[in-house]
């Protein structure tokens, strides 16, 4: 059955997100390649989704009433693997196989490789369209209580396919779709506003017919309450423009676009893990 592990306090969720960041550094270092920047920035959102928001059962990933998470910017999959493992979909020991030959943890997510993945992604711009198809199918199937979360990168919004889907979802009022744009202001070649200015994303999405909400994507409490409010909006789909810090938690990676797609070496990983252990201790010492 759907098991909502919603017993964690915000402090425990923060601790969980930090543990997930530790796993991300370890797995990307072991892989020798991968995308740490966006993955670290998304750890709070993924913690909120898997440990609080989503109706899903790690022991029964194909459960027919589950909520769906589509990672559209598939290169950030280390955060998804790490969160899924910590949530109990599979053993955290497997995380170290990321990107290795015959591993279930393919470099970009592959639905068939790992139970619990809902799509195959990497080439950008497709997640929201797939969410539209799923939401339409759910409506035809008379399933009214399932939500579909779509995580997209901000650089990903350069893709025209996203905006094709952005027009379709309001047309059919697919209000069980909750889009989450990882607004970290970087993409591979540099700052998003230099590469291809996105401008006022809230206005853009609103003009397309969405309920658009700016939030702090590194504040778990803010993410959870924004999603609660999104569920109350029935006349249009919601997109959260989630401001995040790329490389969050690792001093030398934060806000540096060079860490979009480069793995830390052993020395860098050690510094990164020291940073995260320090943060973990700080969270531990906080009052509830």
Partner 1 sequence: MSDLHLVDMGNELAKEPTRKGFGRGLLKAGQIDENVVAACADLTGSTCMDSFAKEFPERFVQVGVAEQNLVTVGSGLAAQGKTPFVSSYAAFSPGRNWEQIRTTICLNNQPVNVVGSHAGISVGPDGATHQMLEDIALMRVLPNMVVVVPCDGPEAERATLALAKDDRPSYLRLAREASPIITTDKTPFEIGKAYVFSEGTDLTIISTGTMTAQAMIASEQLYKQGVEVEVVHVPTIKPLDKETILKSVRKTKKVITIEEGQVAGGLAGAVAELLAENYPAPMKRLGVHDRFGESGTPAELLEDFGLTAHHIKLAVHEFISQK
Q: Are 58 and 23 in contact (CB under 8 A)?
A: no
Shortest approach of Mg ion to residue 256 CB, angstroms? 12
For residues 162 to 191, the per-residue mask of contacts with partner 1, x marking binding by CB under 8 A and - elsewhere, is --xx-xx---x-------------------
Which of 59, 93, 102, 160 touches partner 1 by CB under 8 A?
160
Q: What Å distances lie between residue 55 and 21, 41, 73, 154, 278, CA to CA?
A: 23, 23, 22, 26, 32
Give the integer Cα–Cα distance in Å for 207 and 113: 38
Phi, psi angle pair for 185, to nearest 5°: 65, 15
Q: Is 2 in the site for partner 1 (CB under 8 A)?
A: no
Give the footprint of Mg ion on this chain (CB under 5 A).
Answer: 153-155, 184, 186
Q: Are 249 and 22 in contact (CB under 8 A)?
A: no
Which of 60, 103, 161, 255 touches partner 1 by CB under 8 A?
161
Give the footprint of partner 1 on residues 98-117 (CB under 8 A).
Answer: 110-112
Select the binding partner of residue 154 from Mg ion, partner 1, none (C-beta < 5 to 8 A, by kind).
Answer: Mg ion
Q: What is the dihedral of CA 61, 226, 287, 269, to 10 degrees?
A: 60
Q: Is 142 in the site for partner 1 (CB under 8 A)?
A: no
Question: How deeply is 10 buried, as exposed, middle or buried, from its count of CB atoms within 10 A (0-12, 13-18, 19+)?
Answer: middle
Give the integer Cα–Cα distance in Å for 263 and 37: 9
Q: Is 145 in the site for partner 1 (CB under 8 A)?
A: no
Q: Is 120 in the site for partner 1 (CB under 8 A)?
A: yes
Which of 126, 223, 241, 250 touches partner 1 by CB under 8 A?
126
Select the binding partner of residue 155 from Mg ion, partner 1, none (C-beta < 5 to 8 A, by kind).
Answer: Mg ion
Give the integer Cα–Cα distance in Å for 158 and 96: 32
Q: Is 118 in the site for partner 1 (CB under 8 A)?
A: yes
Binding segment toward partner 1, per CB under 8 A, in 2-10, 14-22, 93-101, 128-136: 128-136
Q: Which residues contact 209 (CB under 8 A, 6 or more apart)?
A: 166, 167, 169, 170, 171, 236
- Size of interface with partner 1, in residues (CB under 8 A): 30
Residues lying near partner 1 in the complex (CB under 8 A) are found at 110-112, 118-123, 125-126, 129-138, 140-141, 160-161, 164-165, 167-168, 172
């Amino acid at each position: 059955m759907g098991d909502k592990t919603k017993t964690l306090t915000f402090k425990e969720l923060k601790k969980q997100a930090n543990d997930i960041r530790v796993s991300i550094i370890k797995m990307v270092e072991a892989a020798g390649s991968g995308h740490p920047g966006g993955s670290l920035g998304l750890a709070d959102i993924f913690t909120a989704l898997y440990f609080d928001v989503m109706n899903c059962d790690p022991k029964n990933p194909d459960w027919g009433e589950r909520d769906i998470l589509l990672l559209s910017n598939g290169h950030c999959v280390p955060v998804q693997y790490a969160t899924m493992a910590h949530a109990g979909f599979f053993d955290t020991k497997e995380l170290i196989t990321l990107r290795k030959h015959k591993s279930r943890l393919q470099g970009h997510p592959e639905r068939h490789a790992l139970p619990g993945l809902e799509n195959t992604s990497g080439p950008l711009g497709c997640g929201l369209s797939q969410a539209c198809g799923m939401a339409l199918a759910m409506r035809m199937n008379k399933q009214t209580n399932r939500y579909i979360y779509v995580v997209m990168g901000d650089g990903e919004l350069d893709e025209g396919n996203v905006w094709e889907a952005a027009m379709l979802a309001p047309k059919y009022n697919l209000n069980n779709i909750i889009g989450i744009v990882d607004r970290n202001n970087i993409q591979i070649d540099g700052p998003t506003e230099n590469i291809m200015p996105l401008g006022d994303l809230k206005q853009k999405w609103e003009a397309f017919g969405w309920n658009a909400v700016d939030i702090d994507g590194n504040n778990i409490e803010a993410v959870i309450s924004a999603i609660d409010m999104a569920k109350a909006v029935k006349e249009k789909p919601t997109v959260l423009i989630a401001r995040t810090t790329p490389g969050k938690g690792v001093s030398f990676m934060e806000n540096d676009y060079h860490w979009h797609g480069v793995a830390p070496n052993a020395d860098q990983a050690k510094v990164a893990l020291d940073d995260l252990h320090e943060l973990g201790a700080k969270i531990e010492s906080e009052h509830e």
